[in-house]
Structure 1
Amino acid sequence: MAVCCDLEVDVNGEETFMVDKKVIASYCGRLSKLFGKSTGSARNLKVIFNDFPGGAENFELLSRFCYNNGRIDVTPSNISFLHSGSLFMEMNSSVSGTPNLLEETEKSLKGMSFWAWSELLITIKQCQDLLPFPSSSGSLEKCVDSLIGRMATSSEPSPCPSTSSPDSSGVRFSCDTGSTESLKNSCSRATWWFEDLLVLSTNLVEMVIKSMVLRKFDHSIISRFIFYYQKSKCYTGTPDEKRNVVETVIDMLYILDWNSVSFKSLFGILRVSLNLNIRKCSRTKLESMIGSQMDQATLDNMLIPSPYGMNYLYNVNLVLRFLKAFLHGGISQTSPTQLRKVASLMDLYIAEVAPDPCLKASKFLALTMALPDSARDSYDRIYRATDMYLQVHTGLSEEEKMKICCAMNYEKLSSEACTHLSQNRKFPSKSAVQALMSQQIKLKSLVKATNKTKSYIDSPSGVIEIGRKGKKNESDSPTNNEKLRAHLQGMQWRVTELEKICLKMQTQMTKIMKSRVSGHSTPRSLPKLCS
């Protein structure tokens, strides 16, 4: 059959092909419709494709099919190109009994479940090179489904000879330090595919992860792969490429169960993202995940340097957002143990940032009041941090000092802290008075409890009633009596000590008040000590 080159085809501006219009149109419905049934001898026809899937390479592959009387070997290495190209060129109807390329490729795709793992990887790699076209063809979804199905059912190490264990510290640690050989084998079976999927683009990895979540894969395994992928991809690449990887990784982690996500690894991503200026929505997601596990943080995690160009030392605003995320579910959703852990951590953090001369009073107050009062059994650390802050920030007004002191619960200050506060001239006088009053209230409660216990013990039947709920037990009475009297003596000694402390504080406060009030004003009388 004589062949003439009467059609010029420009493929995506990459390359121009001279082909036989009749031969190509007999297999391609798109060109057949374009030319109609015209039998004219018009020459120098030209067709321009700007979005041909696979570009010039794929057009050449389809041309070979047409020139070879509709015969071509459909293999995993070319099926993605042939399927997308046949869809684009509408090679789905037989003209005069010509072979149907689209039908052939779809028949091959149905047998994908019988392919080798390496063939699946080749095909899915080609699919991502053809994006976004394969998304509309359905071939990409078929590849992903087959890939995930193989990952879910395989119980052996990687079928692909090139596969190796993930070179990730987290993965290697969990696999290599197992206490038994079965644990190592189990880890190997769960993670053998990590290295192979590194060839996938971020868009395709996100698609795979979402499908894995729908298939009920173990979220801890998924999160380990995501961190491994992020670490591998961020090792090299431009800032824009790294930013895209980090944002995609955060989006993938966000759809998992957060309890299965490594807190340490989240901070690793945070350190990378701080230098990449990621999107606000991605940053908010990352902060929410970190904040939800705030009780696992350490002081080193929290001491994050301030953003470039800021004069304060540490990124206090970021820590405040962590705390907001931690409390997002409400106090009822947070256990008392978690609250106390976070409060203890924040006490250490506040003590570290307090000496910063550039830390504003509003930020210091926000830190001290971020957690509810129930989170702390003692406010001694807050007092010491406040003392350091006032020592550095000497220019604060009395009003500003009082606002800062409002964060303290004086009833939860120890006697030693109250004594120190009463003598501390950096604190406003009202704060010292409040500390003294709280100690007096404690002393009254203790004296009342002591007197009640003493009168009960001194009663004829008191000791015996304590023993067995009113049933007399002569053998236990002397022992109980001795223990209770010893306890009473201890309480009485404590009362005496507190009275001495309060007397000392009252004397000191009188001196302070006299020195602080003006000559025209009359100092308010101090609260009386309980008798």
Structure 2
Amino acid sequence: FPLLSRSKTLENLIGDSSDDEKGIKLEDEKQSCVLKLHDLPGGPKTFLLVAKFCYGVKLEVNSTNVVPLRCASEYLQMTEEYGEGNLINHMETFLGEVFGSWIDTLKALDSCDEVMQHAEELHIVSRCVNSLALKACAYDKDLFGWPVSSTKNDPFATVIWNGIQSSSTNQDWWYEDVSKLRLPLYRRFILAVDSRSMDQEQIAGSLMFYAKKHLPLLGRQPSFPNSNLCSSFDSNSDQKTLLEEIVDLLPSQKRIVPTKLLLRLLRTSMILHCSPLCRGDLERRIGLELDQASIEDILIPNMGYSSETLYEIDCVQRMLDHFVVAHPWLTDSDRELVCRLMDCQKLSLEASTHAAQNERLPLRFIVQVLFFEQLRLRTSVSGCLYLSDNYNSQIHLSSSMMLPESGNVNLLTAGENDRRIVAVDDMRDRVSELEKECFTMKKEIDKLVKTKGISWNSLCKMFGIRLRLKSKTRDACASSNDPGGKRAASPARIKDGRKGKNQDQENGESGGRN
């Protein structure tokens, strides 16, 4: 049988019918052997082509079936020991011709999906990727003068033996072709061209082309995008993975990718809830070239569920921090001018902490952030104390109104008291934590003032916010402690008033004597 004589695997299976170690079942029915090749690469369609080759029937081999045939011939061990010019040798020769054409190589790489495991073991995927990367780099820089066999639609058809191009073509001619690859194969292609020192602008251009083609949200600019926009496309998780991979592959050089596109990527990453690492990388890239951004692009809708602002503020603050750090030659006046764009009262706790720890920000801005954060903490502490006092008064009131005649009422009131006691304890713990944070912030301000050699009084006068902050703090505390609007004079103030009145009387008497 020609099929058995050219395959070592089939010969061994027929010779030893009880051998099932390779996962191929052997059955004996009606005095005939039936081999079930469930693991054959390419399935029945490929096995039919193998059988035609063994029996000398003419078969058509092209760039779409050469990879499954090569994997099947390896699986069946159709080497030269079992016939001269066996299938492995024929497929390797044909693969060499396929690698000479850009379009045929793309088709061969695309056909690797159905036999990916076997193609990886035979290094066919790597050979296809390297062949494509070599052609893209060579065409870009004219490094090679050897002829390239191709079809009429192949861009290499215009390259003659000495490297002279008969017609001018754009350097982005390969963007559309490689954008059809799946993400894992496309990633390997980008890494391959990057290892061959391709121009970073071309790599970034290909990445942006791929992102625009596969991320529908990237090409739209609604003020508040619809959450169901991605329903007709791939799932959100797939788009999230794609965006994170694109950001990871972007070149690290400045001004390679336009700031407008980076801001669109950042907006899309927030919609898809990408990882903090991905968003942080985009914010850093945008911060390096923030001077190239426009107001319309920076206005990113806030996607948080508990957001208090219409647009994202914290990300703009972080981008400003990156901009100041990336431009150390800026003068103090320029830095203050940049930081004036941010309202310290609207910053979140995370953004305030990040700004306070940035040594390159102006001292004026850092102290303003710390002052407003301290004011916010004081207001929270006073509000918590007010709620705690109200809970205590309600507990005493409810305990005094308990009816001893009704046992059910006593039980319900006792349960309510227990819940209120737990709530008061939680409130006290929160107040204690806020006091600790306030104390820590005060130490940071003292340390900052000592480092810069500025006194507290001069610092407050410099900012002109001493009286305003004190009045705000006093009003906040008074409003929380006296919700009805009635406020009694403090003992110290009454005492000071009496002292002033007595002093006026003494001055009058002394004046009369004189």
TM range (shorter): 0.5 to 0.7
Deviations 1:424-447 (A, max 9, x none): 3546899xxxxxxxxxxxxxxxxx
> 1:64 is matched with which residue?
52
Q: What SS class does the counterpart of residue 36 from structure 2 fall into?
A: strand
> 1:121-520 alignment to 2 at 5 Å?
121-154=106-139, 189-235=170-216, 236-253=233-250, 256-257=252-253, 260-279=256-275, 282-283=278-279, 285-290=281-286, 304-313=300-309, 318=315, 335-337=328-330, 344-350=337-343, 354=345, 356=346, 362-363=349-350, 365-366=352-353, 368-372=355-359, 374-376=360-362, 379=364, 403=441, 406=445, 418=462, 420-421=464-465, 423-424=467-468, 426=470, 518=493
Q: 1:110 to 1:395 in 2, by over 3 A?
A: closer
Q: Following the alignment from structure 1 to structure 2, what is the Cα–Cα distance between the partners of residues 426 and 276?
A: 43
Deviation at 1:136, TM superposition (A): 1.7
Kindly indicate whether residue 75 of structure 2 is the aligned counterpart of residue 88 of structure 1: yes
**Corresponding position: 1:78 with 2:78:** no
Stretch moving more, 386-395 or 284-293? 386-395
**Farther off after superposition, 203-212 or 105-114:** 105-114
- The reply on whether 1:101 has 2:67 as its aligned counterpart is no
**Distance in 2 (alpha carbons) for counterparts of 1:286 and 1:25:** 60
Q: Deviations over 1:361-414 (max 9, x none)?
A: x44642542432x533x8379759977996999666698599589489879999
Distance of 1:131 and 1:267 partners within structure 2: 36
TM-score after normalising by structure 2: 0.58
Q: Deviations over 1:189-214 (max 9, x none)?
A: 31111111121111111010000011
Instruction: Answer yes or no: is the 8 Å Cα contact 2:5–2:11 preserved in 1.
Output: yes
Whole-Å separation in 2 of the counterparts to 1:88 and 1:521: 101
Shift of 1:222: 0.2
CA distance, structure 1, for counterparts of residue 140 and residue 351 of structure 2: 55
* Structure 2: stretches of 5+ with no match in the other structure: 19-27, 142-149, 156-166, 217-232, 383-433, 475-489, 498-514
Q: What is the CA RMSD across the aligned residues, in angstroms?
A: 5.0
- Which of 11, 16, 20 does residue 32 from structure 1 map onto? 11
Q: Secondary structure at the match of 2:190?
A: helix
The residue aligned with 1:120 is 105
Using the aligned pairs only, state the percent identity.
21
2-side partners of 1:421 and 1:231: how far apart?
Answer: 49
TM-score, normalising length: structure 1: 0.57
Q: Which one-letter code corresponds to 2:62 in the other structure?
A: T
1:152-185: CA deviation from partner (whole Å, max 9, x where unpaired): 23269xx877689xxxxxxxxxxxxxxxxxxxx9
Give the aligned partner of residue 390 of structure 2.
none
SS of the aligned residue for 1:125 comes to: helix
Q: Distance in 1 between matches of 2:368 and 2:491?
A: 22
Residues 1:247 and 1:375: Cα distance change in structure 2 (over 3 Å): closer
Q: Distance in 2 between matches of 1:118 and 1:301?
A: 39
Alpha-carbon separation, structure 2, partners of 1:366 and 1:280: 17
**Matched residue, 2:23:** none
Q: In the aligned structure 2, how far is the partner of 1:345 from the partner of 1:516?
A: 47
Q: Distance in 2 between matches of 1:423 and 1:311?
A: 31
Q: Deviation at 1:271?
A: 1.7
CA contact (8 A) 1:294 1:342 kept: no
CA distance in 2, matches of 1:257, 1:216: 14
Tell me the distance in 1 between the aligned counterparts of 2:186 and 2:132.
12
Shift of 1:249: 1.3
Cα distance in 1, alignment partners of residues 301 and 377 from structure 2? 20
* CA 1:264–1:386: 2 relative to 1, 3 Å: farther
Q: Does 1:43 align with 2:43?
A: no
Structure 1: segments with no counterpart, 5+ residues: 1-21, 165-184, 431-514, 523-531
| 2:352/2:369 contact within 8 Å kept | no
Residue aligned with 1:45, SS: strand
